[in-house]
A and B are shown apart, each in its own frame.
Chain A
Amino acid sequence: MQTAKELRASDQPPLVALNNISIAFGGIKAVDDVSVDLYPGEVVGLLGHNGAGKSTLIKVLSGAYQKDAGEILINGKPVEIHNPRDARANNIETIYQTLALADNLDAASNLFLGRELVTPFGLVDDSAMEAECRKIMGRLNPNFQKFSEPVSALSGGQRQSVAIARAVYFNARILIMDEPTAALGPHETQMVADLIHQLKAQGIGIFLIDHDVHAVMELCDRASVMKNGKLVGTVDIADVTDDDLLSMIILGKTPGSAEEAPS
């Protein structure tokens, strides 16, 4: 299999291309003419301060927000994403910062929320969903046992594994992770890192939004840095240091050695 870098060098279109995306809220441009792309088996980090527009940009892809201008290409073909259902139809799965779980439902109900398994009579098949849930959790987090309790009774790590299971179960090709380790302890953070490597090896493209420069340096192939709604630049992680990334985030300057942002 080709690596992401070789794919990028070839003529193949990227898995996802967000071209010249703009979105404004009440006159304030939250995202201003930003372009990023993602190849199969690649992890692209999105970095920036709070309010830099990285979460807003990615919500255009996940269907939570509507773009004002720009286009979304998947495998080179333009697509319209009006809502989360459209995103799912394009095999885009999102793990939100806020986890987006219904606290009053159990793990299986959350895993299948919006895509329930049904019996031939059209009724939801709780037993089948619990069985599937036990299978995938056995793979992701073998210690997980609280299948009949609402997820409000789970720890941060357990909740995160439910959120990840939901994204992984439905064969995502494009995965968006919005600060997936923000609420986690060191052990659980490692679990997420292992999972990202595993998914990458399966050829899934991942957008990873994070504050933590070290995590990005460790997990990502490329990083796109945003500041005040604009793209500062996209760099190859292999070509930059922590300090280079930090100066991009803080000063909004691209290091001379790195490739310039695509216009």
Chain B
Amino acid sequence: MSDATQQAMPPKAKQGLFQQLELDVRLLGMIGAFALLCIGFSIFTDGRFISPRNLFNLTIQTVSVAIMATGMVFVIVTRNIDLSVGGLLAVCSALMAMTQTELMPHVLGLGFNHPMTWAIAIVVGLAAGTLIGGVQGWLVGYQGIPAFIVTLGGFLIWRNLGWLATDGQTIAPLDGNFLNLGGVNGTMGEAWSWTIGIVAAAVALWAIWSARRARIRHGFPAKPIWAEVTVMALVAGSILGFVWVLNSYHIPSRRLQRMFEARGEVMPEGLEVGYGLPISVLILIAVAIVMTLIARRTRLGRYIFATGGNPDAAELSGINTRLLTVKVFAIMGFLCGLSAVVASARLASHTNDIGTLDELRVIAAAVIGGTALSGGAGTIYGAILGALVMQSLQSGMAMVGVDAPLQNVVVGSVLVAAVWIDIQYRKRLGTS
């Protein structure tokens, strides 16, 4: 008990800038890595990499893996692994495609593009994902089969059950409303995007400020006011900057013309319309908020992290760690179902190989984002940024013209290097 005896902790002058801002060093590292990738690829592509068009595409390509990566954080934090997410995505996609093209139009006789089809398909996909995830969690938690084995089996089982269900056929076209959830087909437009961005920025600022007031009310140390204001400015700036980029990608005029023609109108001369926020990105943002809330502000999240940190302690504290495992895998399954919605809507079809190798991308995203395989540590935003970094690396190399085999060599090396850096960082911090 040799710690300082002063009651309040006065801010020490010697503290670094980042410490006073209380920004996560790992978060800064990831943003730095992303910025380096953007700069590097921009130089090699004459700026095409950071064009609004590419950033828009990058965003919608990241969504599916990022959604699953948030669930993988919980799985890995509880010292488990899920190798079946790609297969789970495929079987959910297959069931949803069957719902749209077989069940609704033929079995129920409601015809194609019935207004209820997209909603029912999504319910089917999410329910299937949650159920399968829950069953896998039960096998791990209550039957004691290692998660590696259960989900390695699932890796083979689920994709091929989907294959059997669809007779191996590619299923297209999907329901028209359903396609809105995929990305480029369903965007909010400029005005709505700005509205959403401004509201989101306001909510974020209010949340930061009320957290500060709560700390002061309880008499806990709070960071200096200038640091708080700087963080608030950074947050608001990032949200609005993101909206600005997505609004800057204009719908190609030929496509816009077709849209007007479809409505029987004539396109005004010289009209420019931005895409704005894709609905799939809004889904990802909602997932990120809910998952972060679960991680930080609910008992479930607290128990997930406690179990990862010390399973025996969690058990002795009266936490039902078996049921917790079922819940964690069920959440993972639910998110696989949600990713299947986004992925199949983006591709406008269901194919047998949808989501192939996604398990590796998802695990890599979570791990690059700072989720420790030893359990107990990880963040939702880290996993999403990890997914973004992986996707930028992959599509940037494709733009530059790196050969496909070499792309995989680089991605694999980056994964190993990222984990090595993470280990060194934790060593320096003195935590396991």
Contacts and interface: CB of A to CB of B under 8 A. Distances in A.
Contacts of A102: 305-307, 309-310, 313-314, 376
Nearest to A121: B297
B240 to A, nearest CB: 28
Contacts, number: 105
Interface in B360-399: 376-377
A84 B316 CA distance: 6
Interface stretch (B186-194, B214-222, B225-233, B330-338): B214-222
Nearest to B3: A145
Nearest to A145: B3
Interface in A76-120: 83-85, 88, 94, 96, 98-105, 109, 113-116, 118
A153 B1 contact: no
Q: Which of A64, A83, A102, A128 has most chain B Cβ within 10 Å?
A: A102
A145 B306 contact: no
Contacts of B376: 102-104
Contact of A143 (B1, B298, B309, B312): B1
A98 B298 CA distance: 27
A198 B58 CA distance: 64
Interface string A228-246: 0000000000000000000
Contact of A123 (B4, B5, B298): B298
Given A113-B313, A124-B297, A127-B214, A105 B3 contact: no
Contacts of B214: 127
Contacts of A145: 3-5, 9
A144 B1 contact: yes
A162 B160 CA distance: 51
Interface residues of B, number: 38
B317 interface: yes
Contacts of A203: none
A94 B316 CA distance: 9
Nearest to A128: B218
Contact of B297 (A84, A123, A152): A123
A109 B318 contact: no
A252 B310 CA distance: 37
Contacts of A250: none
Interface string B101-145: 000000000000000000000000000000000000000000000
Contacts of A179: none
Contacts of B219: 131
Nearest to B311: A102
B12 interface: no
A29 interface: no
A140 to B, nearest CB: 11
Contact of B1 (A115, A123, A124, A155): A155
17 contacts: A84-B316, A84-B318, A99-B313, A102-B313, A103-B310, A103-B432, A104-B305, A114-B318, A116-B299, A123-B298, A124-B302, A144-B1, A146-B3, A152-B432, A155-B1, A158-B1, A187-B1
Given A104-B376, A105-B306, A188-B1, 6 more contacts: A84-B315, A104-B309, A104-B377, A113-B313, A130-B218, A143-B1
Interface of B: 1-5, 9, 214-215, 217-220, 293, 297-299, 301-303, 305-310, 312-319, 376-377, 430-432
